[in-house]
Amino acid sequence: MNHIAVAIDGPSGAGKSTIARTAAKKLGFIYVDTGALYRTIGLAVFRKNFDALNPNEVISVLPEINIKLKYVDNNQRVYLNDEDVSELIRTPEISLFASRVSIIAEVREFLLDMQRDIADKNNVIMDGRDIGTVILPNAKVKIFLTASDEKRAERRYLELFQKGVSTTIEEVLNDMRERDKKDSSRSLAPLKKADDAILLDTSELNLEESINTVINIIKSAEA
């Protein structure tokens, strides 16, 4: 049986995860947050006290780790060697580690089959940076979700604040710009809009409008 795949790519803070998660729930699809996979590798490297910029150190960690995604009440949980690390991977420090390890070809290769396998077996909305370009180039729907830097920083700040992470909006904006630059300028699977992706700028849309727009795009592709 063929499953429907929706690829949502875009920079951090564009609202990808909230929008994709809610749209998936409404449509009965599985939501796959691929950033969590890179974050989990980042966490493993961080715990070893290794340098995320040193490919040899990062690659040496890969054989020691087993990453699993599980779905509890439709919510994604990520496991590192059977430990639920879903919350631990959300700190600004691990964001930076994730962005750094994601440059490494072996890391991307390590996570590739896992992502494709989930899309083979389920109707998915998968979010990331290279889903429409590399992971699922044949996805039925591709959306490139973006918003202005300021809007994205404001949203990410509020999200972190609600989780009790102490930071400032300036710090978030700086971290975000640094990560976006790295994610877009890397030679391997850079953050970029697929030629056949629909560009959706959410700067002037509230959450509900953004979710409805995404759902309408998916429904019209299904029809």
Q: Which residues bind ligand DC (CB under 6 A)?
A: 12, 34-35, 38-39, 95, 98-99, 102, 128-131, 179, 183
**Closest approach of ligand DC to the CB of residue 98, in Å:** 4
Question: Which of 42, 218 has the CB closer to ligand DC?
Answer: 42
Question: Which of 28, 134 has the CB closer to ligand DC?
Answer: 134
Question: Which of 1, 47 has the CB closer to ligand DC?
Answer: 47
**Closest approach of ligand DC to the CB of residue 45, in Å:** 13
What are the structure tokens assigned to 180, written together? 């976006």
Q: Is there a contact between 125 and 3 (Cβ–Cβ < 8 Å)?
A: no
**Closest approach of ligand DC to the CB of residue 189, in Å:** 7
Question: Which of 38, 110 has the CB closer to ligand DC?
Answer: 38
DSSP code string of 125-186: EEEESSIIIII-TT-SEEEEEE--HHHHHHHHHHHHHHTT----HHHHHHHHHHHHHHHHH-
Q: Where are the alpha helices (DSSP H) in 9-163?
A: 16-27, 35-47, 55-61, 92-101, 105-121, 149-162
DSSP letter (8 states) at residue 131:
I
As a whole number of angstroms, the distance between CA 195 and CA 190 comes to 14
As a whole number of angstroms, the distance between CA 111 and CA 105 comes to 10
What are the structure tokens assigned to 53, written together? 């910029």
**Closest approach of ligand DC to the CB of residue 43, in Å:** 11
**Closest approach of ligand DC to the CB of residue 148, in Å:** 17
Question: Which of 131, 197 has the CB closer to ligand DC?
Answer: 131
Helix (H) or strand (E) holding 71: strand 67-72
